[in-house]
Amino acid sequence: MLSGCPTWPMAFAEQYQNDGCWLGETFGELLRQRATTYGEEIAIVSGERRISYAELDARVDRLVQGLYDLGIQAQDRVIVQLPNLPEFLEVCFALFRLGALPVFALPLHRKSEITYISEFSEAVAYIIADVDSGFDYRELALQVKANVPTLQHVIVVGKPGPFISLSDMYTEPVSQLREPSPSDIAFLQLSGGTTGLPKLIPRTHDDYIYSLRMSAEICLLDENTVYLAVLPIAHNYPLSSPGVLGTLYAGGRVVLARGASPDEVFPLISKEQVTITAVVPPVALIWLDAAGSRCPNLTSLQVLQVGGAKLSAEVARRVRSTLGCTLQQVFGMAEGLVNYTRLDDPEDIIVNTQGGPMSPYDEIRIVDDEDNDVELGIVGHLLTRGPYTIRGYYKAEEHNAKSFTTDGFYRTGDLASLNSSGYLVVEGRDKDQINRGGDKVAAEELENHILAHPGVHDVAVVAMPDEFLGERTCAFIIPHDSSLTFAEVKVFLRERGLASYKIPDRVEFIDTFPKTKVGKVSKKTLREIIIQKLSSLS
């Protein structure tokens, strides 16, 4: 087991095993077993490429050998930053079989994020696409490699430039390698973050495969399922809720889309007879508007999952009438807990709640500021523990003491209420994060970047309401002098290599910050100020 990864106390681990949550499977075995059962059935569709289960399994074996020959070993960390390509899944399964750990970066991450996670995880390799959405990842890799001494290899899907080509790494398997054990960490996922630096989430084969099994069951997946991956599959939601991995778990077919626009996605749904797909609320909104005017043929689509940020009841209500399919609300987190509305729930529940936990072993508490449980229906802080919720972030002892109770409940940072059927309604957040239509921005991380500008004396970042994304970021800045402009701040942050979704949507220059009674910056007042300003503008 990789050190620095808090895990479940023995009594819990034994219960999860004895009660059949953790079945002792690994991802490597799982793929082998599915290849035996589903052989020539298609596992992955990407453009004109169609890859069967047998072919996927064989290609993964060859890639395992190539990675091994390069020197990648069990427990090595490998940054994987790939768009929705079949190679994403091949690389993942190959690393899983080797016992090396993918560290999932989002395609929009740039020098700042990649350098940090490479350094922090002491990654030995970085796997990228050559160019995607007009961005050349090889240039990014050159910069990152120059700064991170542990990083020995950059492996490229496509034209390798100065690096190694992934396609040259599929080699005849010769070595007999020992596969990892089910309780080993399978990969590190990135947290949405609330702190200055992103946290890494260690997930085991056992716990993640359990979450796939439960998700596939709840979403009624089987070998007839066709799952369309629209969101970047590096994110936990399209990866596992039930996502691409849950679909492969169930023997279904994964169709990889490269974008979310109706022009691209609607014909693909019809062509590939997609049965289920997953989006964030702003994408749902675009699809609903487009479908209303275009009447596309979406008859195969049975389920539209919406999650990652709160979906308004008003938009939720339009899904069935406009797209002709069942809405499933998904409220999850890369740290673990995932809630789903069930497909046969009454429309009122589907529209007005964020669903119930997927496992009977999920423990949910809603508490007040002193950690006392509140009554049903009352809003409080959501705490959780269970068989697929982590007990701590990777190498983050100090932060873990704050983010987890002493008896192992994860403090989600969400404000929610619980109804008598065990379903949750998300009512807000007490974590210092902005949820920009599903993309999470940690206020402190952005504040630290803005503070590095020599013209900035102090800064506080808050969420401001937005009709389309739900929230956007507003940075209140106290400048050293009045010459600083918003444009300068944006250029500065881009040059620092910050992902574009973290660049503030608005900057307000201010002389002093409003303070709370104890003298801290009152972000609540700042949020009120910006709400008032926006409403006076409209």
Residues that bind ligand J2J (CB under 6 A): 192, 236-237, 240-241, 307-310, 329-334, 338, 354, 412, 414, 426, 429, 435, 440
- What is the nearest approach in angstroms of ligand J2J to the Cβ of residue 436? 11
Distance CA 315, CA 329 (A): 12
Torsion over CA: 497, 502, 508, 509 (sign): negative
With respect to ligand J2J, which residue has the nearer C-beta, 65 or 189? 189
With respect to ligand J2J, which residue has the nearer C-beta, 334 or 456? 334
DSSP string, 302-352: -EEEEESSPPPHHHHHHHHHHH-SEEEEEEEETTEEEEE--TTS-HHHHHH
Spatial neighbors of 536 by CB under 8 A, at least 6 apart, are: none
- What is the nearest approach in angstroms of ligand J2J to the Cβ of residue 146? 30
With respect to ligand J2J, which residue has the nearer C-beta, 53 or 388? 388
| φ, ψ dihedrals at 13, nearest 5° | -60, -40
With respect to ligand J2J, which residue has the nearer C-beta, 195 or 236? 236
Q: Find, among 216, 210, 187, the residue nearest to 200 by Cα.
A: 187
With respect to ligand J2J, which residue has the nearer C-beta, 141 or 426? 426
DSSP state of 180: P
Spatial neighbors of 426 by CB under 8 A, at least 6 apart, are: 310, 331, 354, 414, 415, 416
Spatial neighbors of 413 by CB under 8 A, at least 6 apart, are: 194, 381, 429, 430, 431, 433
- What is the nearest approach in angstroms of ligand J2J to the Cβ of residue 455? 32
Tokens 């289920």 sit on residue: 276
Pair of tokens at residue 109: 């991450």
With respect to ligand J2J, which residue has the nearer C-beta, 65 or 339? 339
Report the residue number whose CB is nearest to ligand J2J.
332
Chain-centroid distance of CA 161 in Å reads 29
For residues 192-205, one letter each, b for 16 or more C-beta atoms within 10 angstroms of the residue's C-beta and e for the rest, the string is bbbbebbbbbbbbb
- What is the nearest approach in angstroms of ligand J2J to the Cβ of residue 392? 16
- What is the nearest approach in angstroms of ligand J2J to the Cβ of residue 192? 4
With respect to ligand J2J, which residue has the nearer C-beta, 240 or 326? 240
- What is the nearest approach in angstroms of ligand J2J to the Cβ of residue 92? 16
- What is the nearest approach in angstroms of ligand J2J to the Cβ of residue 406? 21
Query: In the beta sheet, which residues pair with residue 357?
Result: 339
Packing angle, helices 111-121 and 137-147, rounded to 10? 50
With respect to ligand J2J, which residue has the nearer C-beta, 28 or 246? 246
- What is the nearest approach in angstroms of ligand J2J to the Cβ of residue 398? 21
